[in-house]
Amino acid sequence: MFMEYRSFTQNPAKVLAGLTTAKSVAAISSIQIVGENSADIIKSIFRPIDKKSIDISEEQILHGFISDGERDIDEVVIGCEGKGSFSINCHGNPLIVENILELLKKHKARITAPQEILTYLSRQKYEDNTIAIEAYSAITESATLDGVKIIAYQTKMGLLQTLQWWLKNLNVLELDDIKAGAERILNDSKIAELFIKGAKIVIAGPPNSGKSTLFNYLCGKEKAIVTDIAGTTRDWLSAKIRLKKIIVEFFDTAGMDETLSGKDAVDAESQKQAALLIEIADLVLFVLDSRFRGNDKPRQSVGGANHRRINELVVFNKCDLVKDLSFEGLKISAKTGSGINVLIEKIEQALGVWDFDMKKTVCFTDRQRKVLEQIIAAKRKQQIERLITELLKGSFVIS
C-alpha cells in the first residue's frame, strides 16, 4: 500500500493523529498527535492526575486521564516529544484506542496512517531534503541493521551527494556519463534491497531429492512433512530465516516433474505454483539427489525459453548416502547438516551480499528508482535537470 505525502498547506486540518503501534490487542498502545494546534487539543482532552496545571513543554511526561468532558476514557501517559508533537500511551484495548481517536477527530484532528505522521515529523526536521525524509520512514522498516546503514549513508553522502554533484556540473558532464551513473545506481540498488527488504529463495528440484528436509533444517524445526514417498509436498511452505548478512524467506515447493503437470488437477496446480514462485525468486536452490546426479533432465523445468534468466545454485543433497564424493558441485546432507554452512556462504555470494560495499550509492524507494529510470531514458539535459531536482526536492510516496 502506498500513500502520497500531503503538506499541511494542501490539507485544511492543522493536526494529524494516528495509531503508531499494531492494530491488535496489546498491553500498551501509542497514538501520535502532531501539528501546530496539537498542544491545544491535548489541553482540551487531558486531565492531570494531580489536578495541577498542564506543563506541555518539551521532554515533559504527563500522567492523567483522557476525558471527553463527561467521562474519563482511559488513564494515560503523554510524552511531550517536541514542538507540536505528543505521544499518548494508553491501554491496548482496541475499543479504548478507537474512543481516543474518535475524540481527537471531534477536536478537528485528521486521523491518518503512521507513515504520514513520520513524514510530517521528518519534514519538520529535514525541511525540503526529500531523500532524508524518505530515509526517515524507510529506516524504520529495514530488515537488517546493515540495511539501516545503507539507507542512512544516502542522506548525507551516497545518493544525495551524487545528485547534487550531477546538478552542479550538469553543463560540463556528458549525457551518457550521467545515464551510465544512473544505471550503476540501479544495479547496486538491487543488492542493497536484499539488506533492506530481505530475499526470497525457492527450494526446487525433482521429487524426493530432500527439499523438505533441507527446508526443515534451515528453519531449525520440522515444518514440512518428510517421507520416502516422492511428491509428498504438494503445496508450498515458507519461513523467514536470518542468514549471516540478510533475512531470507525460504519456500519449500512441490517436486518439479513435467509428467505431474497433466497427472491430475492437484498435481498440475502444485507444479504451476512452484513455477510462479520460481519466477519471483531472487535465487533458486535446485536440489538434486547425489545418488542420481547424472540425471539432470528435471532441471529443464526450472525456467524455460520464455522465462527470465534465473539466478540458480545447484545443490547435491544426500551426500551422506554416497561413498564417492569426488564429483564437482555443492555437496550437502540436509539430514546431518553437513555442508550447510558452506551452502549459506554460497547463497550470500550468489546474491551479491557477501562482500557488498555498504557505502555504495543506491536508491531505496520505488519513487527514486522510477525517476532514475527516467533519467536513463532522457534525451536532453533539460529533462535530466528537472528529474534530478525532482529526486532531491520533489513530491514522493511512502509505503
- For residue 171, give the 3-state DSSP assignment: coil
C-alpha angle 295-300-303 in degrees, rounded to nearest 5: 150
If asked whether residues 145 and 230 sit together in one domain, one would say yes
Structural domain ending residue among the three candidates 97, 122, 147 = 122
On whether both 314 and 208 belong to a single domain, the answer is yes
The predicted pLDDT at position 265 comes to 59
- Are residue 259 and residue 381 in the same domain, yes or no? yes
Instruction: Identify the pLDDT of residue 126.
Output: 73
Instruction: Say if residue 245 is in the same domain as residue 334.
Output: yes
Which pLDDT does position 278 carry in this prediction? 87
Residue 136: count other Cβ atoms within 10 Å of its Cβ: 21
pLDDT for 178-198, tens place per residue?
999 999 999 999 999 999 999
The stretches in the chain having pLDDT less than 70 are 1-13, 221-236, 255-271, 293-309, 395-399
Q: What type of residue sits at position 265?
A: A
Give the pLDDT confidence score for residue 10 in this predicted structure: 39
- Rg of the chain over all Cα atoms, to the nearest angstrom: 27
Domain boundary, last residue among 74, 97, 122: 122
pLDDT tens figures, 233-252: 445 688 999 999 999 999 99
Cα separation, 214 vs 208, whole angstroms: 11
What are the grid coordinates assigned to 338, written together?
Answer: 553437513
H/E stretch holding 33 reads strand 26-35
Provide the CATH number for the domain around residue 330.
3.40.50.300
Cβ–Cβ under 8 Å, residues 34 and 121: yes
Beta carbons of 188 and 361 less than 8 angstroms apart: yes
Q: Taking a C-beta distance cutoff of 8 angstroms, is the pair 104, 45 a contact?
A: yes
List, in order, residues 6 or more apart from 326 with CB less than 8 Å away. none
48 CB neighbour count, 10 Å cutoff: 14
- 253 and 371 assigned to the same domain: yes
Are 180 and 297 in a shared domain? yes
What single DSSP character describes residue 365?
S
Is residue 61 within 8 Å of residue 42, measured between CB atoms?
no
- CA 319 – CA 334 distance, rounded (Å): 9
Can you name the residues that pair with 75 across neighbouring β-strands? 65
**Does 73 lie in the same domain as 199?**
no
Clarify whether residues 74 and 134 are in a common domain.
Answer: no
Q: What is the pLDDT of residue 306?
A: 40
Give the residue from 64, 96, 122 where a domain finishes.
Answer: 122
Residues 360, 343 within the same domain: yes
Q: Give the whole-angstrom CA distance, residue 8 versus residue 28.
A: 29
How many structural domains compose the chain? 2
Same domain, 219 and 367: yes
Nine-digit cell at 326? 569426488
Amino acid at 283: L
Amino acid identity for residue 161 in this structure: Q
Residue 38, all three cell numbers: 496539537
Please answer whether residues 139 and 57 qualify as being in contact, where contact means their C-beta atoms are separated by less than 8 angstroms: no
pLDDT of residue 295: 52
- DSSP 8-class letter at 244: S
- At 41, which CATH number? 3.30.1360.120
Q: What is the pLDDT at residue 113?
A: 87
pTM above 0.75, yes or no: no
Residue type, 241: I
Q: Are residues 82 and 177 in the same domain?
A: no
> For residue 237, what is the enclosing H or E element?
strand 237-242
Do 132 and 116 share a domain, yes or no?
Answer: no
pLDDT in tens, 146-166: 999 999 999 989 999 999 999
Containing structural domain, residue 190: 127-399
